[in-house]
Amino acid sequence: MSFFTKTGGDLLCRLNGETMLLCPWGKNAIRVLSAAAAKPVFTDWALLPREAGEAEISLSETEARISTGKITGVVKKLDWPDRLEVSFYNRQDRLLFREREAGGALQLRARKFKPIPGGDYRLTFSLAPEEDEKLYGMGQYQQEILNVKNCSFELAHRNSQASVPFVLSSRGYGFLWHNPAIGRAVFGRNGTEWYAESTKQLDYWVCAGDTPAEICGAYADATGHVPMMPEYGLGFWQSRLRYWNQEQLLEAAREYRRRGLPIDVIVCDFFHWPKMGDFRFEEEFFPNPQAMTEELERMNIKLMVSVWPQIALESENFREMKARGLLVSTESGVQVQMQFGGDSVFFDPTNPEARDYVWQKCKKSYYDIGVRIFWLDEAEPEYGVYDFDNYRYFLGPNIQIGNIYPQLYARAFFDGMTGEGQKEVVNHIRCAWAGSQRYGALVWSGDVFCDFASLRRQVCIGLNMGIAGIPWWNSDIGGFHGGDPADPGFRELLVRWFQFGTFSPVMRLHGDRRPTNIPVYRKDGTVSLFTGSPNEVWSYGGKVYGILKKYLCLRESMRPYIRGLMKEAHERGAPVMRPMFYEFPEDPPSWDLKDQYMFGPDMLIAPVMEAGALKRPVYLPPGAEWRDLHSGETYEGGQTIAANAPLEVIPVFLRNGNPSLSACWPAG
């Protein structure tokens, strides 16, 4: 009998009731689908329709090979136990990875479909160990780790955690786990394991490339490129816990202009609405929002407005949305999914009708008065209790498809805005999954704490998000939770974080500063949501203000360079923040550096992330000459230096001088 068949341009493999397809999916990429007792289905969770291309397929009784461009997949029919074993090679016939062996008498299975009674499968997919391998990506996890080899990950979203299941390997391949189920990934010394708690099939995508840039570009081609960043995404964004009324927000914007400070965006954050899910300004505190947006436009400042996906049970829209089936349902227990600011449930963006409903409400209240940027908060979504098996969506149970929530939340606004003719879309969102980038998702790292440990984590997070295909990323400068503007220790942290923010894809100041929970009352005496303390650049004393102003001006002077980086992200899928190995893949030390990075091709950034530090080591890769942005001193590559870093200085080195960037540093 024949285990292998060529069907169209794909390789079809069958054994023991399992049907597996290997399909060319890009010029150097293959998609693998496998189902037990069923035919695989071409889902479109993240992958775009395949590019046209041909594959070479060869068949024998016990082996089949499929090659496209730089990658070859090999499927072998093996005995005891009777099984199919899959491996991948590059064009030099070097092994990229292979499935785990059966282990002799252990009789292990690399593709284990464990039936769920009356339902689908728990799936475990296992790969053999490669001890020399280094892995990068996986999205946003709050850890100070860049190389994720020997790490384990929950495949689920939480506030400050965004699971994006793509890894780039030092062995020359990229791997996407194309499954939005809740699960886990383990990159162990004794093997790699991907696990889905509930799914219908195995589905992954793999590409080969000669450089990290080639792999990242292929992944962007497969899942979508970010749009071109609008001009207002290149400069400075101002935010605080919340401006609780119209005049307070406008006065902050006016003060930036009075002081001659660069600013592109100001944020009207959460609870500017009457009830969650009303999707409009509360009239008492924002009596004329159109006049507010018009005044900001005259100052050349864009307004970003917060939108939460929660619908309060007291919202004016709750009854209609519930009746029309536009809400996430709870499998058991009380139908309440979050209680911050009142009992609420989440809208269901996996339902196209729900996406359109929310967009139409936001269009009427915000877009039609000139708002062109949305802050899509709570995008995980942030359930009051992360019992992932207790929620159900239009497309299926959360445990099976829940990780796609933030991607489709972003899509609701992207589709609405592009439908109105907007060409360049960027929306700020607190979570992402594979493919989110094509919907204009600018991800931030959630409600992180105000300490140097959190700052150190942000560097690794931003780099791994870029490798995972999310080039637009930022963090709350200074951290979100806490931070006393009068505390010298926090002022130092703020300066160091502000310097890092200057060389982040988007530069945004935000945080809940002390004293917090300042009460706000309506005219009738009822309590509105609290507000926080000032968080403008002049809120931290004269010395700090002078430093922050200098970096605002530096960011502004870098616009042409940053615009070029955004064009590379849009056209080639290149990260804006890049691990050192991205630019120097032939330099072994560059694969191990987690505390410095490249901001585009020509700027080496070495943030100061220890309290009290006035110097720090900086590794300068070989093959280039490096000019200190601050002093102008030049160094040969291939050495580690002790860089001076007084409070006003973040070490920055320009690759081969780059005279256009040398002129950026503001005088004085």
Hunting for tokens 């949501």 — which residue is that?
Answer: 529
3-state DSSP assignment of residue 247? helix
pLDDT at 380: 98
Do the domains at 4-223 and 577-662 have one common CATH topology? yes
Mean pLDDT of 594-612: 98
Please tell me what DSSP assigns to residue 105.
G
Distance CA 260, CA 608 (A): 28
Classify domain 577-662 by CATH number.
2.60.40.1180
- Summarised one tens digit per residue, pLDDT across range 122-149 is 999 999 999 899 999 999 999 999 999 9
- Summarised one tens digit per residue, pLDDT across range 532-576 is 999 999 999 999 999 999 999 999 999 999 999 999 999 999 999
- Summarised one tens digit per residue, pLDDT across range 452-482 is 999 999 999 999 999 999 999 999 999 999 8
pLDDT at 37: 92
- Kindly indicate the confidence band of residue 666, based on its pLDDT and cuts at 50, 70 and 90: low
Share of the chain above pLDDT 90, in %: 96
Please tell me what DSSP assigns to residue 647.
T
The number of beta carbons lying within 10 Å of the beta carbon of residue 284 is 12
β-pair type (302-307, 202-208): unpaired
DSSP notation for 338-365: B-TTS-EEEB-TTSHHHHHHHHHHHHHH
3-state DSSP assignment of residue 409? helix
Q: Which CATH architecture has domain 4-223?
A: Sandwich (2.60)
589-620 b/e (C-beta count within 10 Å ≥ 16 → b): ebbebbbbbbbbbbbbbbbbbeeeeeebebbb
Element holding 219 (H helix, E strand)? helix 212-223
Report the catalytic residues.
377, 380, 447
Angle, CA 418 vertex, CA 41 and CA 213 arms, to 5°: 65
Q: In 529-573, which residue ranges form alpha helices assigned H by DSSP?
A: 542-557, 559-572
Instruction: Say whether pTM exceeds 0.85.
Output: yes
Mean pLDDT of 234-255: 98
Contact 33, 40 (CB under 8 A): yes
Evaluate the omega torsion of the peptide bond into residue 262 and state whether it is cis, within 30 degrees of 0: no
Structure token digits, residue 346: 């989440």
Tell me which residue of 565, 633, 628 sits closest to 599, measured CA to CA.
565
Contact 426, 375 (CB under 8 A): no
Res 48 pLDDT > 60? yes
Distance CA 339, CA 331 (A): 18
**Mean pLDDT of all residues belonging to the chain:** 97
pLDDT at 668: 43
The domain ranges of the chain are 4-223, 577-662
Distance CA 219, CA 137 (A): 12
pLDDT at 658: 83
E strand residue ranges, 121-217: 121-127, 135-140, 152-155, 162-169, 173-177, 183-188, 191-199, 202-208
Res 667 pLDDT > 60? no
- Summarised one tens digit per residue, pLDDT across range 329-377 is 999 999 999 999 999 999 999 999 999 999 999 999 999 999 999 999 9
Distance CA 403, CA 439 (A): 16
Mean pLDDT of 224-238: 98
- Summarised one tens digit per residue, pLDDT across range 280-322 is 999 999 999 999 999 999 999 999 999 999 999 999 999 999 9
Rg (CA), the chain: 26
Distance CA 28, CA 7 (A): 19
